[in-house]
Amino acid sequence: MRWCKFIKFIFMVVLSTTIFTVTVHKAPYAHLKKLVNNSMVEHLFHEEPCACMERCLAASDDEWFTKRFRKDVPPVLALNNSDLPNHIFKWWQSLQSKSKANYSEVIKDLFSVIPGEERYRDTGPSRCRTCAVVGNSGNLLGSYYGPVIDNHDFVFRMNKAPVQGYEKDVGSRTTHRIMYPESATHLDNSTHLVLLPFKILDIQWITSALTDGSIKRTRFKVIDKLQATRDKVMVMHPVFMHYVHNTWLHIRSRRSYPSTGFLVLIFAMHICDEVNVFGFGANSKGTWHHYFENTPKRFKRTGKHSGGIERETILELQERKLIDLYTGW
């Protein structure tokens, strides 16, 4: 028994001495590991940023990435973060149509209907959240990506993109559907709705669509009463949209703003630890079209979106192994 106490005493002396000298060693964790092979001590000095084996996006030390990725930008609106700096408010108002509505009152009405707490700020060493961002490209047809997509924790889909009839290629699960009023579709009780607000009227619409259905038209006629679970509804933050526009795409023109697909990709990178991307870009023949079109319409114009810059950025993310881009067939 005395020998046990003596050995324990010696161990504590060595450990305390090592901890004391941590401040003067350039590699304190490596120095300690040589002396004490103890998993608890290792955890104390080297806490992993997430529990994923492949990558932890938010902890990447890639210089190109860290210049762009800002952890402090809130992805979704909440009661405690809804204030907008004046320059961002003006940018946001310029995207589609200005409104005379009182923004503060609109936000107050919104959070009387949907939850007002912050979401998805729970990153840490015990979390490994894998996410699939599923675009609408025709390159999904014949890909048999369905099971791969469904194997993610979160599956993001956009606008009205259908699943039924395409399961083998696009999967069957949808945890989050991102939409704006003009692209809205009814949801089941298990799916989260993420609204992309391109104008104040869009936020007014989601409040109305979940209550009295008084707003029946935005840019054109829209769903007045939307089937969706209120507790699973959230609104992408205009500050986040501005950050994607300025920081990720370096666009200064007020006549251009990020596409839905690109916004969702960066959104996923902020709330997930691993991100895999499906259904972006052209098919193997160079044709750009939607997988659900019976008679595919070829398109290359990207309207007010900087498609070329977005594509280059996505390819750069892939090249740096920050995301995996599944290009289909």
Which parts of 46-140 fold into alpha helices (H)? 63-66, 86-93, 103-110
Compute CA distances 125 → 49, 58, 273, 323, whole Å. 5, 12, 11, 20
CA 191 to chain centre: 15
Q: What tokens appear for 211 in the block?
A: 């209550």
Query: What is the phi/psi pair of residue 165, to 5°?
Result: 95, -10
Query: What is the phi/psi pair of residue 107, to 5°?
Result: -65, -40
CA 62 to chain centre: 19
CB proximity list for 298: less than 8 A, separation 6 or greater: 287, 288, 289
CA distance 60 to 76: 22
Cα dihedral sign for 167, 170, 176, 178? negative
CB proximity list for 3: less than 8 A, separation 6 or greater: none
CA distance 244 to 235: 15
Amino acid identity of 312? E
Percent helix / strand / coil, the chain, rounded to 5: 40, 10, 50
Active site residues per annotation: 257, 305
